[in-house]
Structure 1
Amino acid sequence: MEKLNRESGRMPHRFKYRGDDMKLEMDLLRDLLLYIEEKATRVHSDLEDIQIDGWPGEEVAYHVVQAEADGLIKATITEIPGDDDPALLFIEYSVHRLTMRGHDFLGNIKEPSNWEAVKDGTKKVGAITVDAAVGIAQAYIKAKIAAYTGLPL
């Protein structure tokens, strides 16, 4: 039996996807973190059916799963295998908040020019992963701070 969301009083939305059909979209990941920062206004929010312009619900759900697995957000996620096809998953999620890692990463990439520099850096090194983006964002911000203050970091 499905549980009602305590904030909305609705049943959770179910999204289906094949994990091998999805790829990590760094712009969507950033948009998701920005959305959560704005909308998760309680210590334990319940954000479901997150809609981000230009992205289908299945891709948003996939990125919720990946962001939670990478420690960027806290969320409750239920994965239900398809009856006829075990490669097909149904996802139910409720996003609660950003983690400290999520806040740190978002703080470094919130400014669009910083984000463009980080994306450019990941492309140049050929590493389009969350860890690479986090590392490049940290290095980029440290370099900007050092340049601004004249202090070595």
Structure 2
Amino acid sequence: MKRDMDLARMILLDLEQNDIPRYEQLKLDGYDEERIGYHCYLLAQAGLIVAVDATDTENILPNYIPSHLTWDGHEFLNGIKAPSDWERIKKSVIQPAGGFVFSFAKEYILHELKTRTGIS
């Protein structure tokens, strides 16, 4: 299964909106539970969310249930929250790299935030 960075962003946005940790499978329009569970696994592996492993023997793919954002998840989301920022990062980082290079995107977001705030 290919990574869907738009789905990953949607998961992060959904988790930020919750005041309490989630303990049930996330549901998002247009995505099945298998795809969402796999992307939650990827986000947990990247250290952006805390999630519970709900993988069973009937599934080949990892299936994680998201609980909440980590500190890094909040930081990363702040850089991609605005739709205009997200579109710019997709054009500047994701498309030229032929996919998503997570560590490069994190550095790019940090650079953008420093530039906006005047911190160098």
Q: TM-score, normalised by structure 1?
A: 0.68
Structure 1: distance between partners of 2:116 and 2:13: 22
Q: Distance in 2 between matches of 1:134 and 1:80?
A: 32
Q: Which amino acid aligns with 2:100?
A: I
RMSD: 2.0
CA distance in 2, matches of 1:134, 1:90: 24
For 2:22 and 2:84, how far apart are their aligned partners in 1? 31
The correspondence for 2:5, drawn from 20, 23, 26, is 26
Give the aligned residue type for 2:5.
M
> Distance in 2 between the 1:133 and 1:90 partners?
24
Partner of 1:97: 68
Structure having the higher Rg:
1
Contact 2:3 2:39 in 1 (8 A): yes
Specify which of 116, 132, 138 is matched with residue 87 of structure 2. 116
TM-score (norm 2): 0.85
Cα offset, 1:27, TM superposition: 0.6
Instruction: Flag the 1:113–1:119 CA change in 2: closer, same or farther, 3 A.
Output: same
How far apart, in 2, do the equivalents of 1:116 and 1:90 lie? 29
Q: SS at the partner of 1:52?
A: coil
State the number of aligned residues. 119
Instruction: Provide structure 1 residue ranges, at least 5 long, that are not aligned to the other structure.
Output: 1-21, 147-151
The structure carrying a bigger helix percent of its residues is 2
Distance 1:89 1:120 in 2: 29
- 2:37 aligned residue: 61
